[in-house]
Amino acid sequence: MRPALLTVHLLATGLWLGGAALTLVGLAQGDTHAAWFAHDKLSLWASGLAALTGGLLCVFLPWGFVRFWWVVTKWAGTVLLALAQILWVGPALSTAAAHTDIGRAAPAGDGGLVAQALVGLGLVALVFVSLRKPWGRLRHSDKPGRTARGLVVLSVVLTVALSVAQVVVLDGLRATAVADVPLAGLDGRTCRGRVDQGGGFAVELDVAGGRIAALRVTARPDMLYPALGALVADRVTGGATLQVDGVTGATTSSRMVLKAAEVALRGCR
């Protein structure tokens, strides 16, 4: 089990570094969609896997958690960088990608370039620490007992279970069917609709000239990704269909806005 854990940990760290490098290349070239894709499909998952396997290695290998300074630095740094990848890099990339995806100017800022560069440098530093193992012992005995091992393993299992559950829920929301509703006979009407999935989204639509003249999101969860999902209104406005692509970085929330629009049009008929 130990060799397998170490192999997975090294692989996850390598993928995380590769994803960070691809993200930086995308941002440097102005391709925010490619940068977001590298983060969302590679770095995000690799960072979580590196943190989880790092914790398990501390349990099942003689290093312990606080026996050596380099181990403390390594596992604490890995956890902090994984959180930074999720809570700092992710939102910045999603915001930039969502705005450029629909043709709007990205908000002022670097789109996550500095955040991802710092996380990448931190990863390189942790690899150096792992290879050199500096600073000696912190304490002479730190063999995790059964209780400590059990808590770490339980934490890993719960984290994995929650991650899988989140993926299943989000995939289910993204798979929500959205159908077109004929606009004939709705000219001059303002239609209102709401869906409760995804935290609840409400919209208003103005119909004119056989097209959706305006789509306004009147209620949504007060969080970043629902706010980005509301930008899908730009793709609907001026057209006669709800069959449009979601906004990069907020595809789930985009789907909920489109479903609320369908409910609104059906309610007008």
Percentage of the chain beyond pLDDT 70 is 90
Residue 76 pLDDT level (bands cut at 50, 70, 90)? confident
The predicted-structure confidence for 244-259, as pLDDT tens digits, reads as follows: 999 998 999 999 999 9
* Amino acid sitting at position 90: G
E-state strands within 44-188: none
Dihedral in degrees, nearest 10, Cα atoms 138, 141, 142, 144: 170
Residue 184 CB burial class (10 angstroms; 0-12, 13-18, ≥19): exposed
Residue 121 has pLDDT above 90, yes or no: yes
DSSP letters, 26-83, are HHHTT-HHHHHHHIIIIIHHHHHHHHHHHHHHHHHSTTTTTSBHHHHHHHHHHHHHHH
**Could you tell me the pTM of the whole model?**
0.84
Pairing of strands 201-208, 190-195: antiparallel
Dihedral in degrees, nearest 10, Cα atoms 65, 70, 76, 82: -120
* Amino acid sitting at position 18: G
Quote the mean pLDDT of the chain: 87
The predicted-structure confidence for 221-236, as pLDDT tens digits, reads as follows: 999 999 999 999 999 9
- Using CA atoms, how far residue 172 sits from 165, 167, 200, in Å, is 11, 8, 15
Lowest mean pLDDT among 34-48, 93-107, 145-159: 145-159
The predicted-structure confidence for 132-190, as pLDDT tens digits, reads as follows: 888 877 655 555 556 656 666 666 677 767 767 777 777 888 889 999 999 988 999 99
Question: What is the rounded distance in angstroms from the CA atom of residue 8 to the CA atom of residue 54?
Answer: 10
Question: What is the rounded distance in angstroms from the CA atom of residue 258 to the CA atom of residue 262?
Answer: 6
